[in-house]
Structure 1
């Protein structure tokens, strides 16, 4: 069993609060993915953090919003002649995405200050909560920075900015999950062997990078091309426009999708090796169980990815695949946390040093 510290170092209220916000962030990522699929992200052309919480309440306001959208390159090249009713369809997705972001801010900030005033947050976690609050505020600015990239001269936001926006959301999610686990369990005074800690951290890093590659796929609409599997239009490697130079790694649809596929294979193999080694070593403290849960989630996520690709981005499958990516990231975070919590005597140092995972 994990060795918990005094009750004063733990807080169920803090853990529940942070866990709930983490679920909201997961929902935010999914809604953001749907917003991207429906090409809705540029329908609101202004950043109004406070007044923007209310949707248009009159015909005049709807016409004003629509007229602003009609000035964008996306409208001119993709949606020329769009009706007001059709505009409302994409407007509501982007408005819901921004509203959920505001709700997350409120769901984090209000309980934070209340719990802080009541001294219910373990002192060692207060600074982490301040950092998470700051990252949440930064995320709003990054989201607008992303939108701006698509308002003029482009028909969509810049893929690299979309990926940065996604990456920051995932960093916040990992921070929320980790801090919630810390709040529930108390301070950790065990130190697992560095080989296992590094291996679990590497898995978390691989999953995070794979999620970012998924962001590049979404940003480039790369899921709509090369919809066969395991080959790519009958070839192992797709044709790539190398005239772009290094930018091809960010903007070439075939190359971006290829990298995402290779990332998926790498995550699958790495997690499988970790599971096998953890079972051979007979790790305790639930590490093999969490590792097997992670492996199962990776398998399901891979199948969802293949199905999403072969249906040329079926919206339901794409949404599930996006949610699955965040869920896998959460399990990888939990695995690293469990490994770092395990007592050193529960590990076989000979196997750790021999494999170095």
Structure 2
């Protein structure tokens, strides 16, 4: 088998009929990515405004409509007043104050429904017109299934705050965030395959060690984002609002207070925040090391640009995180920090996709 044939067969979107998916399909996937990014920001604002528990019903169809009468508003408010968040955090809240938090959660859920519509309707149209090749069809159906699972996981997360807690479980919140970014990354990777079909790999293998290192960085980015989910779920950003020390200590006192020890990684505010700081700094250092390494390689321009963007975005994201912490988590800045995490992931995936030997045409 020739190198060209092997590359095509191993690519994510190899076309059985020899006709590549249309550019419109790739642009549609990028629109879906942008909507998932917006969803992550809306979700962050919903959490930061303590709005996530304001809707206590799961109604995927009828829930698309907001309350249309005073009686319906009162019914929903009465439901909210039955949970611990109301009695322990928002006791005495008025109906008008309830409406403020309700609207954020409503917009969050409505945007999720809109993503479903924007994904399903064009998918059906492209499919029926034969614009999507069979390998891509299977991948898009998987994306659809992941989207449905995300909706169920979102409700599972919200339900964790109804009985005894005044907030949702940090475990379920992090799982919800992780699945959202998995969906985003998967759609973005598919879009790359449609818009930039893979060139032939270099025969000298010069980029292979760098690409392996980039896979490690991708894992580090994912772990760092997940650790941020635990920071958010524990409201850990509201304490230790100093940097680089944590209230005067390099390693905070109480880092390992919980037993068993592993519980500190997920339930101890001091440990969770310290670990997130450490992971974020490690991500920035690793990104700059790989950028410097890439400058010594003969890489395609898209890959070289990706390394530069990745390092700079990681540094900006670290600066955003530090500023958010020092200012005790202002909502606009924290929402931008959430978006920054998605952009770092985007740059990592872009670079990983384009990191291969330069096309043969460029070597001649």
TM range (shorter): over 0.9
What's 2:65 paired with? 54
Indicate whether 1:260 and 2:276 are aligned.
Answer: yes
TM value normalised by structure 2: 0.90
Runs of at least 5 residues in structure 2 that lack an aligned partner in the other structure: 9-13
| Aligned-partner SS, 1:82 | coil
Runs of at least 5 residues in structure 1 that lack an aligned partner in the other structure: 348-357
CA drift of 1:341 comes to 7.0
What's 1:274 paired with? 290
What's 2:24 paired with? 13
* 8 Å CA contact retained: 1:10, 1:186: no
Stretches (4+) displaced over 6 A: 2-7, 344-347
What's the C-alpha RMSD, in Å, of the aligned pairs? 2.2
CA distance in 2, matches of 1:151, 1:346: 60
- 332, 335, 344: which one aligns with 1:319: 335
What's 1:174 paired with? 185
- 217, 230, 239: which one aligns with 2:231: 217
Structure-to-structure mapping, 1:1-357, within 5 angstroms? 8-186=19-197, 189-190=200-201, 194-240=208-254, 242-245=257-260, 246-340=262-356, 342-343=358-359
* 8 Å CA contact retained: 1:224, 1:309: yes
* 8 Å CA contact retained: 1:200, 1:339: no
Moved more, 242-251 or 326-335: 242-251
CA drift of 1:288 comes to 1.7
Change (3 A) 1:74 1:148: same
The CA deviation string for residues 168-224 of structure 1, in whole angstroms up to 9 with x for no partner, is 000000001100010112355537654232212222211111111111111100011
| Aligned-partner SS, 2:113 | helix
The CA deviation string for residues 318-346 of structure 1, in whole angstroms up to 9 with x for no partner, is 01111111111111110110114755999
* 8 Å CA contact retained: 1:283, 1:346: no
CA drift of 1:244 comes to 3.8
CA drift of 1:249 comes to 1.2
CA distance in 2, matches of 1:205, 1:287: 18
CA drift of 1:250 comes to 0.9
What's 1:354 paired with? none
TM value normalised by structure 1: 0.92
Equivalenced residues, count: 346
Moved more, 334-343 or 264-273: 334-343
Moved more, 331-340 or 309-318: 331-340
CA drift of 1:280 comes to 1.3
Higher percent of residues as helix: 1
The CA deviation string for residues 41-94 of structure 1, in whole angstroms up to 9 with x for no partner, is 000011110111111000010000000000101111101111000000100000
Moved more, 18-27 or 177-186: 177-186
CA distance in 2, matches of 1:206, 1:126: 30
* 8 Å CA contact retained: 1:66, 1:84: yes
CA distance in 2, matches of 1:252, 1:259: 11
